[in-house]
Amino acid sequence: MLKFTGNLSVLFTEVPVLERFKLAKRHGFTAVEIQFPYSLSPEILRKALEENELKLVLFNIDADDLLQGGEGLACVPEKRQQFQHAVTQAIAYAKVLKPELINVLPGRCLTPQRHQEYLNTFKKNLIFAAQAFAPLGIKTVFEAINTHDMPGFIIHSGEQMCAVLDELKQPNLFMQYDIYHMSKMGEEVSRFIVDYSDKIGHIQFADCPGRGQPGTGDINFEQVFATIAASAYSGWVGAEYKPVGTTVDSLQWFNSK
């Protein structure tokens, strides 16, 4: 049976962040994830989790200006010290919130001739993060993002993620496989999940091409969820879609499980 998390950065946005925990619990989630928790103190977040008997499975390291159209943090050579400070910040939150995983967004290179330099920087930073989180028993994950939504993103395929894992050989480093992003890049997501389930630390999903809930796009989620359930993957599956309509109305896929 699949274990689903609700991503509170995109679900239940009809109410302020702290009220989303109660709604997630009310509508059947036992675990949640947050993209960037840093606008609230870890103690406040822990209280919201405890009051609603929820587990926080995952959050991201700070990504600087990535969501505002910039290059982000983890791959930019000039920002290595800033990245290390972001890891320190994530550790402080992790000690309070006890996530299973922390995600590192690779970022993008907007100067193509520097691509290899950016990729090398990302690999060094990924090793730094993985070794920093390992003593806490936390898996480090990183994800590929499609280049239609984020041109220049330095990791944009499952194959690239596998290559990084094979090169770095960090025992607590895994890929975060996003069904929406990889579908947007034309990957056969079900086949990939079956073939590389041992290298996947976390799965997220939204329908494609619109990034709405299952049933609003072209992905056969009945088949995808069945594939995940039958695979060797035993982690969480995160709902990280942008609801078409209200969040509650978007949960038909979940209520039918």
Q: What is the DSSP string of 11-47?
A: SSTTS-HHHHHHHHHHTT-SEEEES--TTS-HHHHHH
Is 33 one of the annotated active-site residues of the chain?
Answer: no
Calpha distance 19→132 (Å, rounded): 32
Catalytic residue among 33, 71, 100, 240: 240
139/151 Cα distance (integer angstroms):
28
Distance of CA 220 to the CA centre of its chain: 21
Residue 50 CB partners (closer than 8 Å, separation 6+):
none
71 is an active site residue? no
Instruction: Give the other-Cβ count within 10 Å of 188's Cβ.
Output: 12
Question: Which residue is catalytic, options 51, 143, 159, 188?
Answer: 143
Secondary-structure class of domain 3-255 per CATH: alpha beta
Whether residue 155 contacts residue 143, with contact meaning beta carbons closer than 8 Å, is answered with yes
Task: Give the pLDDT score at 1.
Answer: 86
Segments making up each domain of the chain, as ranges: 3-255
Which residues does the chain have with pLDDT short of 70? Answer: 257
Distance (Å, rounded) from C-alpha 122 to C-alpha 99?
Answer: 23
Return d(Cα 124, Cα 55) in angstroms, integer: 30
Does the pTM surpass 0.85? The reply is: yes
The model's pLDDT over 223-236, given as tens digits with 9 standing for 90+, comes to 999 999 999 999 99
The pLDDT of residue 255 is 86
- Residue 142's pLDDT is 98
pLDDT tens column, 25-80:
999 999 999 999 999 999 999 999 999 999 999 999 999 999 999 999 999 999 99
